[in-house]
Structure 1
Amino acid sequence: MGQIKPVLIFDGDCGFCTTTANLIREKSSTPIEIHPWQFIDVTKYGLTQAQTMDKVFVVEGVKTFGGHRAFAKILLLQKNPLLKLAGALIMYTPIAWLARPGYRLVAKYRHKLPGGTPACKIEPR
């Protein structure tokens, strides 16, 4: 029986997010399924559309990682030990205390980042 790939779920309307997802697809040393939330049934992964509109997710089996933890999980999945270390550091306090607002800052201004478009702008909740 084959191992189930982790799944990255992102905002397909955002150019910055799409560029980042394509970079992950191209550079990942571990196979990751990658889907814009707009083209899948997110409830299949235990998520709501509102959640996936708010942040990126990585689903691995029954575990779900959102926001900064999703990027930490992607790093943890890599074969490179330095990337794994970076992922572990991002996942746990006190680094997570900085990573969480850092993710929110990037998400808030993603429309101004390379690849970003006006469609990338999200309104604060």
Structure 2
Amino acid sequence: MAPHPPVLVFDGDCAFCTSSARLLARLRRSPGDFAVEPWQRLDLPALGLTEEQCSQAVQWVARDGRVSAAERGIARSLLASRVMVRPVGALLLAPAVRPLAGVVYRWVARNRSRMPGGTPACALPPAGTQGEDTRP
């Protein structure tokens, strides 16, 4: 895979995810540091991603093509951001904190429709219905 600018890939159909992505975009040192894009607008195979991966968790695709998902993706984007938030990214990747960060990320992902800015469209499909549109 050819090098490309890093990109944080999020679910653009989710209002909570979109609001969170906007916040992360504001934390960049400059817009050229990394892109913040909804997966619905990207050529996912070119990034080594699938729709299923992107609908389940945020994805960080590094310049070299390595992918970090969920809390690790958030941590990597923070490490590439302004100096004031880099320690938070490092903390999220610390072996003692990473398991708890994963639990928190999964809880937020399951409950994103109830989070500030969330809507019923933010709800993840029930387990076992991957690929089916279960939104009203």
Among residues 27, 41, 44, which one is paired with 1:42 in the alignment?
A: 44
Gaps of 5+ in 1: none
- Where is the helix percentage greater, Structure 1 or Structure 2? 1
Pairing 1:63–2:66 present: yes
Give secondary structure in 1 for the equivalent of 2:60: strand
Could you tell me which amino acid in structure 2 is paired with residue 76 of structure 1?
A: L
Give secondary structure in 1 for the equivalent of 2:82: coil
Aligned-residue offset at 1:4? 4.4
Do the aligned residues in 1 keep the contact of 2:27 with 2:82 (CA within 8 Å)?
Answer: no
* Runs of 4+ off more than 4 Å: none
Q: Deviations over 1:10-39 (max 9, x none)?
A: 101000011111122223214321211111
Give secondary structure in 1 for the equivalent of 2:9: strand
Among residues 118, 121, 125, which one is paired with 1:119 in the alignment?
A: 121
Distance in 2 of aligned mates of 1:39 and 1:66: 18
Pairing 1:76–2:92 present: no
TM-score normalised by the chain length of structure 1: 0.89
Distance in 1 of aligned mates of 2:99 and 2:55: 22
Could you tell me which amino acid in structure 2 is paired with residue 65 of structure 1?
A: S
Gaps of 5+ in 2: 128-136
Distance in 2 of aligned mates of 1:49 and 1:57: 11
Over the residues paired in the alignment, what is the CA RMSD in angstroms? 1.6
TM-score normalised by the chain length of structure 2: 0.82
Do the aligned residues in 1 keep the contact of 2:78 with 2:85 (CA within 8 Å)?
Answer: yes
Percent identity between matched residues is 37
